[in-house]
């Protein structure tokens, strides 16, 4: 993350004008939707909740989707989650889980999709075409459909638009904003994990786990991950008082090879670390003994967040 910021600063004379052009294109697209030039379809018989953000990278969308799904399930509602098939081997519409059984895992579907299937009782659909995905859900008759990363998808009308925000200021490629800040005006609820906003949330630690279940907090670790914001993960480990002997970062959504795992096990041994530690998003792509993951969840007032649609 720091290296990216460094190169962005060096290339400012080139990147900043491009980011202004990018913003102009985004604003034109949104304007065409606002005036009805691009059509938006209303889906009857189901309520659609969109969870999104205006920034690239890890902002907490997936933990929030999991939290909303599990909250609705506890109230007795049947829910479905539609995810983007980004970085998935299979791009066509797939029913990944019927809420009880998981039919596909990584790399057929991406890491976040498989994680949602593992951590919820929702029907999970992976797709590049959300209209097609909604049609595939007719057989299940869900009462709620959650769009994971749905803010920029405007072809379908939403009953609740939720946006997670943070302090990013600049647009791609100079910064990390991928949508206009004006888009926040069409969001009914704003959530933040840092700073002040309408609905405050926090990421809390559920504990340490391996393939066999709960695991005692380790004293020293070699950390690896392939997530949007690895620095947040490192900070969370440090706050728990765990010694970090080494760290290896892979690009977001990276699929680990056998050689990668062998290298990581070697680095753990070389650094004298007690365990290899990663995120649950990474663990679902490996699911092997000898690797520990730190599990988290999003804590917030779900009743307030879903007021008006539940």
What are the two backbone dihedrals, phi and then psi, of residue 38, each rounded to the nearest 5 degrees?
A: -95, 130
**Residue 57 assigned to a binding site:** yes
> What are residue 48's DSSP bridge partners?
145
Asked if 237 and 221 touch (Cβ cutoff 8 Å), the reply is yes
Rg from Cα positions in the chain: 20
**Residue 120 assigned to a binding site:** no
Distance (Å, rounded) from C-alpha 186 to C-alpha 114? 30
**Residue 55 assigned to a binding site:** yes
**Residue 9 assigned to a binding site:** no
Residue in the structure block whose two tokens are 């792509």: 285
Distance (Å, rounded) from C-alpha 117 to C-alpha 104? 9
**Residue 219 assigned to a binding site:** no
**Residue 47 assigned to a binding site:** no
Residues sharing a CB contact under 8 Å with residue 206, sequence separation 6 or more, in sequence order: 295, 296, 297
Distance (Å, rounded) from C-alpha 152 to C-alpha 132? 17
**Residue 76 assigned to a binding site:** no
SS3 content of the chain, % helix, strand, coil (to 5): 30, 25, 40
**Residue 58 assigned to a binding site:** yes
Distance (Å, rounded) from C-alpha 49 to C-alpha 80? 10
Binding residues for ATP: 55-62
Binding residues: 55-62
């Amino acid at each position: 993350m720091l290296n990216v910021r460094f190169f962005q600063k060096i290339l400012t004379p080139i990147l900043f004008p491009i980011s202004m052009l990018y913003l102009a294109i985004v604003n034109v697209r949104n304007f065409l939707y606002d005036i009805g030039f691009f059509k938006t379809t209303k889906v009857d018989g189901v309520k659609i909740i969109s969870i999104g953000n205006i920034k690239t990278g890890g902002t907490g969308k997936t933990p929030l989707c999991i939290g909303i799904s599990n909250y609705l399930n506890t109230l007795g509602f049947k829910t479905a989650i539609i995810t983007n098939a980004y970085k998935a081997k299979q791009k066509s519409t797939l029913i990944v889980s019927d809420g009880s059984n998981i039919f596909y895992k990584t790399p057929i579907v991406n890491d976040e999709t498989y994680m949602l299937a593992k951590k919820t009782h929702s029907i999970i659909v992976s797709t590049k075409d959300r209209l097609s995905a909604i049609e595939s859900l007719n057989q299940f008759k869900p009462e709620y459909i959650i769009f994971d990363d749905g803010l920029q998808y405007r072809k379908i009308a939403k009953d609740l638009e939720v946006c997670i925000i943070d302090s990013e200021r600049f647009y791609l490629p100079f910064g990390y904003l991928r949508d206009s800040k004006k888009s926040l005006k069409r969001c009914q609820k704003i959530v933040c994990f840092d700073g002040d906003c309408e609905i405050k949330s926090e990421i809390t630690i559920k504990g340490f786990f391996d393939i066999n279940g709960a695991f005692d907090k380790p004293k020293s670790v070699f950390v690896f991950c392939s997530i949007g914001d690895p620095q947040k993960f490192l900070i969370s480990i440090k706050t728990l008082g765990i010694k970090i002997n080494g760290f290896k970062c892979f690009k977001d959504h990276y699929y680990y090879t056998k050689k990668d795992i062998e290298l990581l096990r070697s680095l753990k041994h070389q650094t004298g670390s007690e365990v290899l530690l990663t995120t649950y998003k990474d663990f679902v792509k490996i699911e092997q003994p000898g690797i520990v993951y730190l599990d988290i969840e999003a804590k917030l007032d779900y009743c307030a967040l879903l007021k008006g649609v539940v």
